[in-house]
Structures are given as structure tokens and as C-alpha cells.
């Protein structure tokens, strides 16, 4: 099973504030917000949802390729991905634009404030899900708005099962548009906040959303995740990480685990645990693509975390 991962490819400038946002943002003065954070630490990483998911899926030995639009500055990132056996056939360069850029500030409670310049990502609708490319699984992750709508429709027209991962792109859509995405999806993955927003905008409870798809996956950070599938709620425990360094990209690592499980016909209990371990491995490393492991190392960590083999 080969996956086409539609989503953003971006450069992430990640800054760490050695304090807590809540000590500087006063709720009763939010209408006069004017704050500045000193960030001694700054890293420029390769990121974007499609890039991150593809990177993590390659680590697991899964089969997939990103489909994205990038700018004239993409060359070093392209070399990085090719060196890690990520197929860039479906990545389009928009020469007049910069690759999307995210500027992320994280505090000591792992809260994040992000500013995002879409750049070439705004042209994602120029890409089209290809016919006859052996694609058997589609992913629509955060991307340009028109691109997300069109790619979901193209997967549906081609009869390709779709994992809808709206992420930070969810607020761009109204209730009817989200209902349309749900109708085209086989699986939906959200975090707990996104799940609440999805329910509010569609007027459906999460149970009702789950009844319309094969599975609804809701991640809850350190509290693990819940997979609603086959009329059941499968509770997936969180894996204790070796360290808590950087939460950026943990959701993408988790979703790569979901895709790997779907590609290999794993049951949801196992798939959820693969995804949970991927998130724990990622959070122990700075950046979204600086973690790595061998197959033997992953299987050993899986057994240690869950007292069972993969």
C-alpha cells in the first residue's frame, strides 16, 4: 500500500522562551496585548506536515510520498529528504515564492505561539492527485485551503481511502465544509482541541463523527489517545519519553504510525501503540526530523513500552 501525503512542507524556526506565557499574558488585558519574549535558543529546522509525516513513515519502513508546493529556497531540504529515501516526485517548485515558513515559540510548559507565512503552500491546489500511480491511501494534512478541498475531492473521485488530518488548518473551514470532508474520509485524526472544534462546527458529537468513518483518532498528549472504531473506544496509553525536549512535530510522528499500521493491516490496538511510541521518540529530540532508529531498536522499545511484540 503506497500513501500520497498531501500537506505542507516548511522551514521551522523554533525558539524556546525560558519562562511561561501565562506569567506574561494577562487575561483581563488581552485587548491591549503587546508582549515580547526573549528567546536565547533558536533553531531552523526542516518541517511541514507532509515533510514530517513522510520522514517518519520512511523511518518505520512504510511506503509514501509527500505532495506539496515549495519555493525557490527548497534545495537543501530536498537533499535532506532524498538522502533519507523520501520520494519527491510529487513536490512542485513555485519559483516566485519562498517555501512556507513557521516561526514557533515554545515556553517551559510546552505551550506554543506560532506565526506562519504560507509562501508556496498557497499554490498547493496546482498539484493534482495523479491517476495510475499505484496510490492506495491518501492523506490530507494542513495545506493551502483550496488544495485541501480539491485533494480530498480527488481522492474521493479516484476511490482512494482518505485519512483526513485537518490539524491547525481546521479553523479555515465552516461546518458544511467539514461535513463534506467527513463524508469523503475513511479515517479522521485530530487532537482533543481539534476534536472539540470539529464537533462544534459540524453540530455532531464525536460519537456521531465516528459513526460516519471507519475510525476517529483523538490524541490527548501525555494522556495518550482514543481510537473510536467498530463501535468501540480503544484507549491507547502514552509512552513515557526518555526526555521532554520539543513537542513540535509529535502529531506528525503519531500520524506516520497510523499510516504504517493501515499499510500493514495491523489492528487498532497495535496501530495506536506504534503511533504512540513514534510521538514519544520524537518529543525527546529537538526539531521535527532529528530522531532516528533502526527496526530492531524500534521493536525493542515497543516491547519495553507495552510488554508485547510488534
Q: What is the pLDDT of residues 121-145, one digit of tens each?
A: 999 999 999 988 799 999 999 999 9
Pick the closest to residue 155 from 175, 169, 141, 135 (CA basis). Answer: 135
Q: For residue 32, is it within any domain?
A: no
* Range(s) of the domain holding residue 228: 2-25+40-306
User: Which parts of 185-294 fold into alpha helices (H)?
Assistant: 192-202, 206-211, 250-263, 268-283
Between the CA of residue 298 and those of 222, 230, 242, 270, what are the distances in Å?
20, 28, 14, 14
Q: Let me know if 305 is exposed, middle or buried by CB neighbors in 10 A (0-12, 13-18, 19+).
A: middle
Q: What is the pTM of this model?
A: 0.91
Q: Which residues of the chain have pLDDT under 50?
A: none
Q: What are the start-end ranges of the E strands in the chain? A: 2-6, 10-16, 41-47, 64-70, 91-93, 100-106, 112-117, 135-140, 162-164, 187-191, 215-219, 225-229, 232-236
Write out pLDDT tens, residues 64-79.
999 999 999 999 999 9
In a domain? residue 161: yes
Check which CATH number belongs to the domain holding 214 and give it: 3.40.1190.20
Any domain includes 35? no
| 68, 7 Cβ separation under 8 angstroms | yes
Give domain status of residue 206, yes or no.
Answer: yes
Q: What is the pLDDT of residue 296?
A: 97
pLDDT at residue number 1: 59
- pLDDT value at residue 29: 66
- Whether 34 maps to a domain, the answer reads no
Domain total of the chain: 1
Amino acid at each position: 500500500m503506497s500513501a500520497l501525503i498531501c500537506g505542507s512542507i516548511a522551514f521551522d524556526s523554533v525558539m524556546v522562551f525560558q519562562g511561561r506565557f501565562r506569567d506574561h499574558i494577562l487575561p483581563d488585558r488581552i485587548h491591549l496585548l503587546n508582549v515580547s519574549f526573549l528567546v536565547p535558543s533558536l533553531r531552523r529546522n526542516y518541517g511541514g506536515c507532509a515533510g514530517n509525516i513522510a520522514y517518519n513513515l520512511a523511518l518505520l519502513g512504510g511506503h509514501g510520498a509527500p505532495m506539496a508546493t515549495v519555493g525557490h529556497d527548497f534545495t537543501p531540504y530536498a537533499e535532506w529528504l532524498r538522502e533519507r529515501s523520501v520520494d519527491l516526485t510529487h513536490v512542485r517548485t513555485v519559483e516566485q515564492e519562498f517555501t512556507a515558513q513557521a516561526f514557533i515559540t515554545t515556553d517551559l510548559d510546552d505551550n506554543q505561539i506560532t506565526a506562519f507565512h504560507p509562501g508556496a503552500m498557497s499554490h498547493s491546489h496546482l498539484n493534482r492527485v495523479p491517476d495510475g500511480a499505484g496510490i492506495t491511501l491518501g492523506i490530507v494534512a494542513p495545506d493551502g485551503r483550496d488544495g485541501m478541498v480539491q485533494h480530498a475531492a480527488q481522492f474521493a473521485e479516484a476511490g482512494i481511502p482518505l485519512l483526513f488530518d485537518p490539524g491547525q488548518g481546521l479553523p479555515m473551514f465552516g461546518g458544511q465544509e467539514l461535513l463534506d470532508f467527513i463524508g469523503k474520509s475513511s479515517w479522521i485524526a485530530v487532537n482533543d482541541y481539534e476534536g472539540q472544534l470539529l464537533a462544534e462546527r459540524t453540530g455532531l458529537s464525536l460519537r456521531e463523527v465516528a459513526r460516519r468513518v471507519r475510525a476517529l483518532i483523538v490524541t490527548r498528549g501525555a494522556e495518550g489517545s482514543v481510537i473510536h472504531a467498530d463501535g468501540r473506544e480503544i484507549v491507547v496509553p502514552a509512552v513515557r519519553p526518555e526526555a521532554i525536549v520539543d513537542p513540535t512535530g509529535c502529531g506528525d510522528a503519531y500520524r506516520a504510525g497510523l499510516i504504517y499500521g493501515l499499510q500493514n493491516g495491523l489492528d487498532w490496538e497495535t496501530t495506536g501503540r506504534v503511533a504512540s511510541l513514534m510521538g514519544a521518540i520524537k518529543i525527546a529530540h529537538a526539531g521535527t526530523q532529528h530522531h532516528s532508529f533502526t527496526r530492531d531498536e524500534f521493536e525493542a522499545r515497543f516491547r519495553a513500552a507495552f510488554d508485547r511484540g510488534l
